[in-house]
């Protein structure tokens, strides 16, 4: 029979032993390396524009730091840099950028998970990040995709964690929609909204996921969000963070906008907008 001192010893030493085990799975922290977790960095959306503007700003402010990107297989650094200039008018002058390929990045796609999609994607994000951190442990791990679930893993590996949130993975609006049993909201199927017990089960599932999401998000050393709306929503889910969440508006290419000819289609004096009545 286990004695009280032995139980106390196990309680203290077991977490320490597990920490040593997980830390030994990773290599040493690469000082002077900032790595962005952006598995689909070859996309052409607003999230990718944020990524390249962030890289450009870091290279300008900290020229001695090296930049790496955790990205899906088949994507090369040279093509990424060309695309950033062609698509977003963001020129990356300092080269090379290291690419760390994620062989299992496709696991993040929602079509693989017809049920419990968010939870299974969350697990997949940890698996994908783990495969990247086994290859490189940066001094700073920056998430620009919104996958908060790997933050504890990156922190355990020895990296400082920073994140830029475009939209919360779980929001208070989602929880409220399920609670009110609103059809069509957050993939809330009719057969769920018509059942009180199924709605309660889904609400419990979302609340559990929100707690895990909040706990993982609080592991970030620095957090940024793209709007006051996002800050308000993530604050409700995350709770108390290490530091206040910084408001950083998404970058806009104002230079290209000023070159647009606005004289065409202008409403002249005496004309009514929208044509004759």
First to last CA, the chain: 92
Any domain includes 86: yes
Any domain includes 274: no
Any domain includes 241: yes
pLDDT tens digits, one per residue of 144-166: 999 999 999 999 999 999 999 99
User: Model pTM?
Assistant: 0.81
Any domain includes 13: no
pLDDT tens digits, one per residue of 210-233: 899 999 999 999 999 999 999 998
**pLDDT band at 277; cut points 50, 70, 90:** very low
Any domain includes 31: yes
More confident residue, 223 or 253: 223
Any domain includes 10: no
Model confidence at 272: pLDDT above 50: no
CATH code of the domain containing 32: 3.40.50.2000
Output the DSSP codes for 211-244.
Answer: HHHHHHHTT-SEEEESSHHHHHHHHHHH-S-SSP
Q: Total domain count for the chain?
A: 1
Residue 155 belongs to domain spanning: 27-169+217-251
pLDDT tens digits, one per residue of 56-72: 999 999 999 999 999 99
pLDDT tens digits, one per residue of 26-44: 889 999 999 999 999 998 8
Any domain includes 140: yes
* SS3 of residue 69 by DSSP: strand
Any domain includes 59: yes
């Amino acid at each position: 029979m286990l004695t009280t001192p032995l139980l106390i010893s196990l309680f203290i030493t077991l977490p320490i032993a597990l920490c040593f085990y997980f830390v030994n799975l990773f290599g040493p922290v690469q000082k002077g390396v900032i790595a962005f977790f952006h598995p689909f960095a070859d996309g052409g959306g607003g999230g990718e524009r944020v990524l390249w503007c962030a890289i450009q700003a870091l290279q300008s402010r900290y020229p001695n730091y090296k930049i790496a990107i955790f990205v899906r297989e088949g994507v090369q650094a040279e093509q990424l840099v060309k695309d950033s200039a062609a698509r977003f008018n963001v020129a990356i002058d300092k080269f090379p950028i290291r690419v760390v390929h994620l062989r299992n990045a496709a696991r993040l796609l929602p079509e693989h998970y017809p049920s419990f999609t968010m939870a299974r994607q969350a697990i997949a994000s940890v698996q994908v990040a783990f495969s990247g951190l086994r290859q490189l442990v940066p001094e700073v791990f920056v998430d620009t995709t919104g996958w908060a679930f790997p933050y504890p893993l990156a922190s355990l590996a020895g990296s400082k964690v920073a994140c830029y949130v475009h939209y919360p993975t779980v929001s208070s609006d989602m929880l409220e929609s399920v609670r009110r049993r609103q059809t069509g909201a957050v993939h809330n199927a009719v057969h769920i909204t018509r059942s009180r017990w199924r709605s309660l089960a889904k609400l419990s599932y979302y609340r559990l996921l929100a707690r895990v999401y909040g706990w993982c998000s609080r592991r970030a050393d620095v957090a940024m969000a793209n709007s006051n709306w996002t800050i308000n929503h993530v604050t409700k889910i995350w709770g108390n963070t290490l530091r206040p969440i910084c408001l950083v508006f998404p970058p806009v290419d104002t230079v290209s906008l000023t070159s647009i000819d606005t004289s065409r289609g202008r409403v002249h004096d005496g004309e009514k907008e929208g044509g004759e009545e």
